[in-house]
Amino acid sequence: MDIVLLLLKQNLVMAVYLIIGYFLFKKKLVGREGSADIGRMLLYIVMPVAVLKSYITEFSIEKLEGLAVSFIIAALSLLLSIIVSRIAFSKEQGVERFGTAFSNAGFIGIPLVQMTLGSEAVFYVSSFVALLNILQWTYGIFTMAGDRSAISFKKIRTNPIVLSFIAGLVLFFLPISLPESINSIVVTIASMNGPLAMIVLGVYLAQIPLQSIFTDKTAYKCSLFRLVVIPVLTIILMMVFPSKYLTVKLTVLIAAAAPAGSNVAVFAQLYGKDYTAAVKEVCLSTLLCIVTMPIIIGIANYIL
């Protein structure tokens, strides 16, 4: 019950950041270009540093074992998400397939894991985030564009999240310790992830009429599969793994139960799809996850 209350509390804190972003846009203090700049700062600096920070820890066989388990569970969970999204939506509904398959594990999953399970738990969620980014730039682009030639493996090799994951593994395996001053900078930048991510989502929310978000049946369907069906099936999947990996399982589950990733809006705009529909899915699922995620994690904490 403690983790449920803590998660609910942190979700409410994230909602406050969302509201701040909403009013910043409404008061014309932050525009679309400004929010895009913040988004790029998150993608290229803040999120990679948050992932890197989780690997600044002393090597142990126990942690290595947990990392391997988290990687396996993350891979199976993401495969499950893709299968469910393909069953729920047709080939022509690329935006919905993308939004359902890929959660906002980086922007929302990482800060929530850090706030509820501690900084060390981010060590395990990074596997999910790295795999998620690889799949978004391969299967995700193919789903959105409908053309295999649109897939760029160069973008995977240069993806900041993937690069920070690899750099983090190097730090974990090698007996290297960062100077205190650099470590302090890393900690400070990593702590910006949650607030900035939710402020950006608040700006997204402010760009479309609120009423249209709550009356879109497709957005509700996408949210149902993203926030309920996929997390529940992921819990069933996790029951195969021993209970001693409870922290690892809860960590991955928080990432899997996160709302639709904001990248669905970015990719929809890039490939000429329905950008407004994508934003609705992101915003509605983000608002609903404030309620659904504590319930899902509470059930998992009891069952697993």
Residue 148 has what pLDDT?
A: 66
HSE toward the beta carbon, residue 46, CA cutoff 13 A: 21
Rounded Cα–Cα distance for residues 131 and 165 (Å):
10
- What tokens does 177 get? 């310790």
How many other CB atoms sit within 10 Å of the CB of residue 233? 17
Residues of the chain above pLDDT 70, percent: 95
Composition of the chain by helix, strand, coil, percent to 5: 80, 0, 20
Average pLDDT over residues 110-118: 79
The domain tally of the chain equals: 1
| Average pLDDT estimate for 106-130 | 80
Average pLDDT over residues 236-241: 92
Give the confidence band of 256 by pLDDT, cuts at 50, 70, 90: very high
Query: Which residue range(s) make up the domain with 31?
Result: 2-303
Residue 303 confidence class, pLDDT cut points 50, 70, 90 = confident
Q: What is the pLDDT of residues 266-298, one digit of tens each?
A: 777 667 777 778 888 888 888 898 889 888 988
pLDDT at 3 over 80: no
Query: In this structure, what CATH number is given to the domain that contains residue 75?
Result: 1.20.1530.20
Amino acid (one-letter) located at 153: F
> Which amino acid is residue 3, in one-letter code?
I
Which secondary-structure segment (H or E) carries 167? helix 160-173
Q: Model confidence over 66-113: pLDDT tens digits?
A: 889 998 999 999 999 999 999 999 888 888 888 899 888 877 787 788
Query: Could you give the CA distance from residue 260 to residue 102 in angstroms, rounded to a whole number?
Result: 6
- In this prediction, residue 151 has a pLDDT band, given cuts at 50, 70 and 90, of low
| pTM for the model | 0.84
Cα–Cα distances in angstroms (integers) from residue 188 to residues 2, 191, 223, 280, in the given order? 27, 5, 33, 32
Bridge partners, residue 260, by sequence? 103
